[in-house]
Amino acid sequence: MSVIPAELSYTTSHEWVSVEGDTYTIGLTDFAQDALGDLVFVNLPMEGDEVVAGEAFADVESVKAVSDVFSPVTGTVVQINEDLLDAPEAINEDPYGAWLVRVEEVSEVGDLLDADAYEAHCAQEA
């Protein structure tokens, strides 16, 4: 059973979002990291890049697979978690601490699920 913090919002493609003021912080859920297996690298966007809700903005690599990470919002990347470039395993170890990017100037927010709805979604996929 994967961990799903109640205070976060989620996408059906297994990203989590937390909002503080105008800043949206985005990461991968526990369910996602478990399905992906041991991550070995993360390709992040550059600060200043535009991301679009529903479109891929990063990808994560395991030894034998690459998976896209989709943006829950449309906006501008203001910060990337550079620690992940050297330690991608942080996503496996602490998925809700190992955020990927922070986005501001958000003009659109895609369809998000609350924790209960996301839990139901995961149960369906499992």
Partner 1 sequence: MKLLFERSVAGRKQTIFPDLDVPEATFDETLVRQSAPRLPQMAEVDLGRHYTELAKQTHGVNDGFYPLGSCTMKYNPRVNEQVAALPGFADIHPLQPEETVQGCLGAMHELEGMLAEICGMDAMTLQPAAGAHGEYTGLLLIRAHHLANGDTGRTKIIVPDSAHGTNPASAVMAGFTVVSVPSDAQGGVDLDALRAAVGPDTAGLMLTNPNTLGLFDPNIVEICQIIHEAGGLCYYDGANLNAVMGHARPGDMGFDCVHVNLHKTFSTPHGGGGPGSGPVGCKAFLAPYLPNPRVVERPDGTLAFSCSEQSVGKVRSFYGNFLVAVRALAYILTLGREGIPEASASAVLNANYLAHFLAEAGYALPYGERCMHEFVIDVGPLKAETGVSAMDVAKRLLDFGVHPPTMYFPLIVHEALMAEPTETESRETLDEFVGLMTGILKEAHEDGERLHSAPFTCPIGRPDEVKAARKPHVRYEFDEEG
Partner 2 sequence: MGSYLPETDEGRAGMLAALGLTKSDELFSVIPPEVRIDALDLPEGRSELEVVSHLEALARENRHFDVVLRGAGAYRHHIPSIVKSVTSKEEFVTAYTPYQAEISQGVLQSIFEYQTQICELTGMDVANASVYDGATAAAEGVLMCRDRRRNEVVVAETVHPDVMTVIKTYCASRDVPVVTVPATSDLMVDLDALRAAVGPTTAAVYVQSPNYLGIIEDMDGIVAASHEAGSKVVMGFNPIALGILRTPGEYGVDVAVGEGQPLGLPLGFGGPYLGIMATTKALMRKLPGRIVGETSDAEGRRAFVLTLQAREQHIRREKASSNICSNEALCAMTASVYLAAVGPEGLAQVARLCAGHAHYLAEKLAELGFAPMSDKPFFNEFLTTCPVDAHQLVDQLAEHGILAGLPTHDGILWCATELNTRAEIDRVVSVVKEVCDR
Residues lying near partner 1 in the complex (CB under 8 A) are found at 38, 40-41, 61, 63-64, 88-89
- 40 contributes a contact to partner 2 by CB under 8 A: yes
CA distances from 11 to 19, 82, 108 (A): 14, 23, 14
- 61 contributes a contact to partner 2 by CB under 8 A: yes
Q: Which of 1, 7, 21, 63 binds partner 2 (CB under 8 A)?
A: 63
CA distances from 66 to 61, 112, 118 (A): 5, 24, 23
The residue (of 61 and 104) whose beta carbon lies closer to partner 2 is 61
CA distances from 86 to 42, 43, 83 (A): 9, 11, 6
The residue (of 1 and 63) whose beta carbon lies closer to partner 2 is 63
The 65-84 contact track toward partner 2, x by CB under 8 A, reads xx------------------
Least distance (Å) between residue 40 CB and partner 1: 4
40 Ramachandran zone, left/alpha/beta (phi>0; psi -120 to 50)? alpha
